[in-house]
Amino acid sequence: MPGVLVPISLFLGAFAMIFGIRYLSNKEKMAMIERGIDPGVFKATPKPFLSLKFGLLLVGLGLGLLVALFTVRGIFGSDMSHTEETQSVAIYFGCLGIFGGLGLIVSYVIEKKWLDQEGLKR
């Protein structure tokens, strides 16, 4: 019997959450209309550098994986014990974090340079 109640309660909880979010969003928009504020004003502005940021992040992650692969193969060779395999996993995650972060830093530098140039032109 408890095995049947779990999916039903999960479904009802998810439905109530979605309904509540929509209901409160509608109430917020109606309150803004009553006060004379356009509810479409607060929509997200376009972000021109978002694709650059994700592109550089993915390039950084790819470079991190390649560096980690060559590092693990260079340090441990082809025959690895269980301890060496767990250490190689740490190398992979470390390189992913380092190179992913470097990709985001490069993205920040490019955006900052572009914004500084745009500020001087205006």
pLDDT in tens, 31-81: 989 998 888 766 666 677 888 888 888 888 888 888 888 888 888 776 777
Q: Are residues 88 and 113 in the same domain?
A: yes
Q: Are residues 33 and 54 in the same domain?
A: no
Q: Are residues 18 and 56 in the same domain?
A: no
pLDDT confidence of residue 68:
85
Closest CA to 64 of 87, 93, 96, 89: 96
For residue 14, pLDDT over 90 is answered with yes
Which structure tokens are listed for 94? 């470390």
**Confidence band (pLDDT; 50, 70, 90) for 20?**
very high
Which structure tokens are listed for 2? 């408890």
Q: Are residues 61 and 102 in the same domain?
A: yes
What's the domain range around 117?
A: 50-121
Query: What is the total count of domains within the chain?
Result: 2
Residue with tokens 């998810």, as numbered in its chain: 14
pLDDT confidence of residue 1:
66
CA 12 to chain centre: 29
pLDDT confidence of residue 34:
92
What's the CA gap between 6 and 3, in Å, rounded? 6
Q: Are residues 27 and 86 in the same domain?
A: no
What's the CA gap between 119 and 122, in Å, rounded? 6
46-55, 90-99, 107-116, range with the lowest pLDDT: 46-55
Q: Are residues 109 and 54 in the same domain?
A: yes
Q: Are residues 116 and 65 in the same domain?
A: yes
How large is the angle between the packed helices 82-121 and 50-76, nearest 10 degrees? Answer: 150
> What is the DSSP code (8-state) at residue 40?
G
To the nearest whole number, what is the mean pLDDT of the chain? 84
pLDDT confidence of residue 66:
87
